Chain A
Amino acid sequence: MITLKINGLNVTVEEGTTVLEAAKFLGFPIPTLCHMEGLSPYGACRLCVVEIGESPKSRLVSSCTYPAEAGLIVRTSSARVVKARKMVIELLLGTCPQSKVIQDLASEHGVRQQRFRQEHEDCILCGLCVRMCSEQMMAHAIGFRGRGEHRSLGTPFDVKSEVCRLCGGCIYVCPACQLRCTYNQPEKAICGGCGNLEPPCVEKPQFDDMMCYMTPCVACEIKKD
């Protein structure tokens, strides 16, 4: 058992618990995006930053991946944390402004502006779908490809996966939910599981068989060139 201090309160947790879990136990809210119970922590979105240690030597870490240490001093909503968190949200907004999840986060945390060039990316590379597919669905159908600027998500060689069972788990967890929405290229679709859900964009040409579950599909409204 380990005792650490979160926002001035002592809490005793089992070894291996993350700071995020410990904070949750005490009821301190920490926003997360790429974290999901049942999936391994990944630390991609940095939304869950907290400050650890004493100033001036304190630092920001992602609480979802940081294991609790004995005597650790954690602050979950210091000025520094709030500032960093807002910046993360702003960056996420810049990448994928059409995502409902990110919009909600922005309004929740009082992010009222977005100073970066809007990208309208399909994917924020949070890796939720990858982990869902491999850890919960045991399919290993999709994964990351490439690196840096060219990092993308999908099946190897962009061909329809043989191991994919069209469970739709990836869409279910996707905070952007546009990656799987392939609009007018049904042959590129990874799973097509969204076809089972409420069909919002049937009127769109060549798009009877593939659609995403957003009503209306926000990604489809955006002109891609």
Chain B
Amino acid sequence: MIAEEVSRVVEKHADRRGALISVLEEVQQKYGYLSPEALQAVAEKSRRSLVDVYSVATFYRAFTLTPRGKHHLCACVGTACHVRGAPNVVQELKTQLQVEPGETTPDREFTFETVNCLGACALGPMVTVDGRYNSNVSTAKVRRILDKARMGTQGEEPASDERNFPITVSCPKCHQSLMDASTPIDGHPSIHLETPMNGSRGWVRLSSLYGSHNCKSQAEIPLDSIAPLHCTHCSEELHGAGLCPECGSPMAVMLIEDAGILQLCTRRGCNGHALDLNEPEIAGRPSTRTAG
């Protein structure tokens, strides 16, 4: 399976010389890390020797050969942060997580790394969690940061992010509303859909906040599997046109009330979607086709 995926990626970059880094980046994005099998496959498909692929993969910090944790914790140990007490923070993180920098906790919750500057020296010591910055971190703050991270998106509700806005959608076939106010997600009515699950139909509820990827489902949908989405009223599949701009999986389609079409990727774990708006000024969003 890896081999097929990899050969698809390699072929995509086939016409470019020196595309190895792009290929590895894409493979890593897909699997979260570069497994020995993946590297072997890259070497075979791109007709390079494994040695070369391996040395590139181990050279760049961006590549990791071990699986990463759910959350990525990065403590700055640059000069400015150092004089502001970064070593203590790192020590505290080490004792709390019980791992050394560069390692992942055994429960796969955290990957802990140190970095030499995060570009926010005046606010040091800096610790980023999943790309979000925590400034003036002291040893006392460490526990809180970890707890917040465990709670997801650093405890910050997607709802409080002003870039996210709620949408109301309906089925493109029967035009009935798909909104479900009884089970709110992110504080807004969720989008209620069905998907085949263990032989029968199970429910899926998606956040109606554009920009939030929170969802709930009756049973866990395995990562990377395709979950075709059906309308709860007419049971029709919400067949989208085209494929996901990010991973090439089939898309599901929904109508946004009076505004246009929303397409989203049906692959679990992929956040690809596209928005087709009739009226550009809707909700103050820029017009058509925002992918990503």
Contact = CB atoms under 8 A, between A and B. Distances in A.
A166 B36 CA distance: 23
Contacts of A145: 54-55, 58
A156 B39 contact: yes
A147 B51 CA distance: 14
A155 B58 CA distance: 12
A143 interface: yes
A153 B87 CA distance: 31
Interface string B20-48: 00000000000000001001000000000
Contacts of A141: 51
Contacts of B153: none
B137 to A, nearest CB: 26
A141 B50 CA distance: 8
A161 B39 CA distance: 15
Given A134-B49, A156-B50, A143 B36 contact: no
B52 interface: yes
A157 B58 CA distance: 10
Contacts of A157: 36, 54
Interface residues of A, number: 14
A134 B52 CA distance: 10
A93 to B, nearest CB: 27
Nearest to B59: A147
Nearest to B39: A156
A221 B21 CA distance: 42
Nearest to A130: B51
A26 B13 CA distance: 48
Nearest to B36: A157
A146 interface: yes
A142 B36 CA distance: 16
A140 interface: yes
Interface string A171-215: 000000000000000000000000000000000000000000000
Contacts of A147: 58-60
Interface string A143-177: 11111000000011100000100000000000000
A157 to B, nearest CB: 6
Interface in B52-67: 52-55, 58-60
Contacts of A156: 36, 39, 50-51, 53-54
A130 B59 CA distance: 16
Contacts of A134: 49, 51
Nearest to A152: B58
Nearest to A150: B58
A80 B49 CA distance: 41
A130 B50 CA distance: 13
Given A140-B50, A141-B51, A143-B52, 13 more contacts: A130-B51, A140-B52, A143-B49, A145-B55, A145-B58, A147-B58, A147-B59, A156-B36, A156-B39, A156-B53, A156-B54, A157-B36, A157-B54
Interface of A: 130, 134, 140-147, 155-157, 163
19 contacts: A130-B51, A134-B49, A134-B51, A140-B49, A140-B50, A140-B51, A140-B52, A141-B51, A143-B51, A143-B52, A143-B55, A144-B55, A145-B55, A147-B59, A147-B60, A156-B36, A156-B50, A156-B51, A157-B36
10 nearest CB pairs, A to B: A143-B51, A140-B49, A156-B54, A145-B58, A146-B58, A147-B59, A143-B55, A144-B55, A156-B50, A140-B51
